[in-house]
Amino acid sequence: MRTIESKDNPLYKMLQGSATASFARKHRLLTVEGIRHTADLARFGRLPDYLFFSDDEKGKKAMDLLLAQEGAFSGLLGEEQLILLEPRLFEKASLQKSPSGVMAMLEFRLPQLEEWLSEGEGKKRRKLLVLEEIQDPGNVGTLIRTADAFNYDGVLLLEGTASVWNPKTGASAAGSIFHLPLLESEDTEKSLSLLKEAGFTLIAADMEGESLAGFSWPEGDFALLLGNEGRGLTECALGLADGRAAIPMGGRAESLNVASAGAILMWAGFQGGSQDTLDMESHDSV
């Protein structure tokens, strides 16, 4: 295990830099904090490039749990991948109010939309969540986690949406970023056109749309489009949509948070296919 004591160490600078979305995207890096979330990487088949431990009691506890004989990373990482940081350096790099003593850093690759479409050809009823200009990383992370829970096949983040490289997005997704493909695109019209060409039905979330009470979800591939927290979907996205769905509300609230609305719509879309409904019976409920 190596020890880093200087803030000018190149590897430490990379760890600090990965806390910003622009740096993380450029270098394709993700950081994961906490014993449980770090251990989950091994369960997801994702070995970190480096594990950083705080040189204090919290770090020692994390090492005992993760590197011991029965630990998640026992015998899986080389000594050069295990880094001990002075507590002050660890706290400075951590995004948690109360650091847990361990951080993992790993390379992360996002597939291209064309690649995802090609690999999924022939799969029955593909379901894609599409996010346009959703700016809050907490909302984006929660929506990714919900898409994972309802067995969607991927999430497409369009221009203006909080990046998957934002550490707050990853924290809110709670590990789901490693469960399903995440795609990014800066061209809404091109991406939605590609989906339509591939046979996807585009369903837009729109307060002026058809009530879910009578909405008919497609039996084949579909993409559910969710828009900005305040403005909703752009005219471009609405213009390309094949259908518009609205959540009926009987109370006095004018609207729902986009993450709450997305959960309702994703569940409705999931229920829209008989085979999906049958498959859900084998999953845990919450």
Percentage of residues in the chain having pLDDT higher than 70:
95
- Condensed to tens digits (0 to 9), the pLDDT of residues 16-60 reads 999 888 899 899 999 989 898 899 898 888 899 999 999 999 999
pLDDT at 120: 78
pLDDT at 276: 46
Return the CATH number at 217: 3.40.1280.10
Does 118 lie in the same domain as 77? no
Helices (H) and strands (E) in the chain, counts: 12, 11
Whether the predicted pLDDT of 236 surpasses 90: yes
Of 41, 73, 107, the position where a domain reaches its end is 107
Q: What is the pairing mode between strands 222-226 and 127-131?
A: parallel
C-alpha to C-alpha distance for 177 and 169, rounded to whole angstroms: 9
Does 89 lie in the same domain as 75? yes
Does 251 lie in the same domain as 186? yes
Does 124 lie in the same domain as 100? no
Number of domains the chain is built from = 2
Does 100 lie in the same domain as 10? yes
pLDDT at 279: 46
**Cβ–Cβ under 8 Å, residues 93 and 52:** yes
DSSP secondary structure string for all residues of 56-121: SHHHHHHHHHHHSTTSTTTTTS-GGGEEEE-HHHHHHH--SSS--SEEEEEE--PPPHHHHHHHTT
Kindly report the average pLDDT of the chain as a whole number. 90
Q: Which residues contact 113 (CB under 8 A, 6 or more apart)?
A: 156, 183, 185, 191, 194, 195
Percentage of residues in the chain having pLDDT higher than 90:
69
Does 158 lie in the same domain as 92? no
pLDDT at 168: 87
Give the pLDDT band (50/70/90) at residue 247: very high
Of 50, 72, 107, the position where a domain reaches its end is 107
- Condensed to tens digits (0 to 9), the pLDDT of residues 75-127 reads 999 999 999 999 999 999 998 888 999 999 999 989 899 999 998 777 889 99
pLDDT at 55: 96
Domain-located, residue 195: yes
pLDDT at 166: 87
Signed CA dihedral, 108, 110, 115, 116: sign only: positive
Of 48, 73, 107, the position where a domain reaches its end is 107
C-alpha to C-alpha distance for 186 and 110, rounded to whole angstroms: 14
Which pTM does this prediction carry? 0.86
Does 122 lie in the same domain as 74? no
Does 163 lie in the same domain as 28? no
pLDDT at 280: 42
Does 151 lie in the same domain as 100? no
**Cβ–Cβ under 8 Å, residues 105 and 14:** yes
Q: Which domain holds residue 130?
A: 113-280
